[in-house]
Copies of this chain bind each other. A is one copy, B any other.
Amino acid sequence: MAAQEPEHFGLTYNDVHNLIRASAAKIAEFKPDMLIAIVYPPCCSCGFFPARVLRTFLKTPERKGNIPIHAIGLSLYESLPGMTAEQIGAEVIRTQWLGPESGELLLGRRALIVDEVDDSRKTLHYAITELQRDVERALEALPESERDAKRTKFAVFVVHNKLKPKLAEIPAGIPYYAGEEIEDVWLDYPWEAQDIEEHDRLAAEGKKKRAAKTQ
């Protein structure tokens, strides 16, 4: 028997746009006042597009101006030669951060961390714990009585959460929003398409097939 091709799940731009739209009401309850997109310079996935679209849906008449979007760059080194078993998949590298005053920037804010896909959850875990560490450092400069009020509230939004064993957890007490929970399939996002019309055609075909399966 031939090896089975991993199942592909194609999404049009409008599909992704509407997944984000459908999540926005729930996310608005968290009242984020800054978005932190995770970007992966040498890789494909990136939280910038979802963050940009999400901001559109978080606009309210009360809020003057848009919610600012910041970016942090991370790389997950899965298999560099010469790594020990413990290091493989454990090494997350920062390629870009919020700046030297990261902690001060975060103080008192409600920060929503945005990513495209929650796969192993390792980079999300890393991002949250490192940002929390920056906050704790900045809090130390304040009188103890002011710290609780200034402690940053974090939450997470991903467009897709893959239903698979995770290698790390989201720390307790952090709201987590996913546009869609999905099996461990290969996600074909539109921004990776050479031919967008053909991509849309294949995405529509895939949807029909899945609909037929579940009937």
Contact = CB atoms under 8 A, between A and B. Distances in A.
Interface of A: 12-14, 17-18, 21, 39, 41-44, 46, 48-49, 52-53, 56-57, 65-66, 68-71, 73, 95-96, 99-100, 190-194, 196-197, 200
A91 to B, nearest CB: 17
Contacts of A17: 13, 190-191, 193, 196
11 contacts: A41-B69, A42-B66, A43-B66, A46-B48, A48-B49, A48-B52, A49-B52, A49-B191, A56-B193, A68-B95, A70-B73
Nearest to A197: B14
A196 B57 contact: no
Contacts of A46: 48, 52, 69
Given A57-B194, A193-B56, A194-B57, A39 B71 contact: yes
B52 A191 contact: yes
Nearest to A54: B191
Top 6 closest A-B pairs, CB basis? Answer: A13-B13, A41-B68, A48-B48, A17-B196, A14-B196, A53-B191
Nearest to A100: B100
B39 A196 contact: no
B13 A56 contact: no
A69 B200 contact: no
A90 to B, nearest CB: 21
